[in-house]
């Protein structure tokens, strides 16, 4: 896997070993950021971060900050290693579940220009209600949300649907306020 564009274009990034993490592929990340347009100076929240590929891509493309949220300790270690290797700044990595991180960010009145949620495909139904409840409360007024699910899942959030597209076994759905 490589960073697709920006200041770290072409640099390799690692992914945690095993079947627990399913990193967003280069082609899908390129398509997502093509849909989003510029993320220059954006604040990013990367939920279910895994390898951190989406947040790393955003930082490489000029985002000023990214909060990586990941509950798996090995994945957290890999995100730290990727950040160190790429020498990207503005990142904070927290080892916790997405729901508690979202509640904390909401309670601190933090807002993000871009929220990325990529839960394990087989767990969408477990996380859908919490994401629908909490993601809008941390989204900036002109912010966007990117949800990655299995291609057969059509996620819904109480936000405006911008687009939904399939890429192989993945579906990317973008929402706005």
Give per-residue pLDDT as tens, 147-176.
999 999 999 999 999 999 999 999 999 999
Q: Identify the band that residue 58 occupies on the pLDDT scale cut at 50, 70 and 90.
A: very high
Tell me which residue of 148, 147, 122 sits closest to 135, measured CA to CA.
Answer: 147
Q: Identify the band that residue 4 occupies on the pLDDT scale cut at 50, 70 and 90.
A: confident
Selected from 3.40.190.10, 3.40.710.10, 3.30.1490.100, 3.40.50.150, the CATH number assigned to the domain covering 26-176 reads 3.40.50.150
pLDDT at position 111: 98
End-to-end Cα distance, the chain: 32
Give the span between the Cα atoms of 1 and 3, in whole angstroms: 7
pLDDT beyond 80 at 56: yes
Q: 124-138 vs 98-107: helix axis angle to the nearest 10?
A: 10
**pTM here?**
0.92
pLDDT at position 37: 94
Number of other CB atoms surrounding residue 80 within 10 Å: 14
Give the span between the Cα atoms of 61 and 12, in whole angstroms: 15
Q: What is the mean pLDDT of the chain?
A: 92
pLDDT at position 22: 60
* Unique residue bearing structure tokens 């929240």: 45
Q: Identify the band that residue 74 occupies on the pLDDT scale cut at 50, 70 and 90.
A: very high
pLDDT beyond 80 at 95: yes
Q: Are 177 and 141 in contact (CB under 8 A)?
A: yes
- State the alpha helices, DSSP H only, in 3-111: 26-36, 53-60, 73-86, 98-107
pLDDT at position 124: 94
Q: Are 46 and 101 in contact (CB under 8 A)?
A: no
């Amino acid at each position: 896997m490589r960073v697709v564009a920006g200041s770290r274009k072409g640099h390799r990034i690692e992914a945690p070993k095993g079947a627990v993490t399913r990193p967003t592929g280069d082609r899908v990340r390129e398509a997502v950021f093509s849909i989003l347009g510029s993320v220059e100076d954006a604040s990013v929240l990367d939920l279910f971060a895994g390898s951190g590929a989406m947040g790393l891509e955003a930082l490489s493309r000029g985002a000023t900050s990214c909060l990586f949220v990941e509950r798996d300790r090995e994945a957290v270690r890999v995100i730290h290693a990727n950040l160190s290797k790429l020498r990207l700044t503005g990142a904070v990595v927290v080892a916790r579940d997405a729901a508690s991180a979202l509640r904390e960010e909401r309670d601190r009145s933090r807002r993000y220009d871009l929220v990325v949620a990529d839960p394990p495909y087989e767990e969408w139904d477990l996380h859908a209600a919490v994401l629908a409840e909490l993601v809008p409360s941390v989204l900036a007024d002109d912010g966007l949300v990117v949800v990655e699910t299995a291609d057969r899942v059509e996620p819904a959030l109480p936000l405006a649907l911008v687009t939904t597209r399939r890429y192989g076994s993945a579906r990317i759905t973008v929402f706005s306020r």
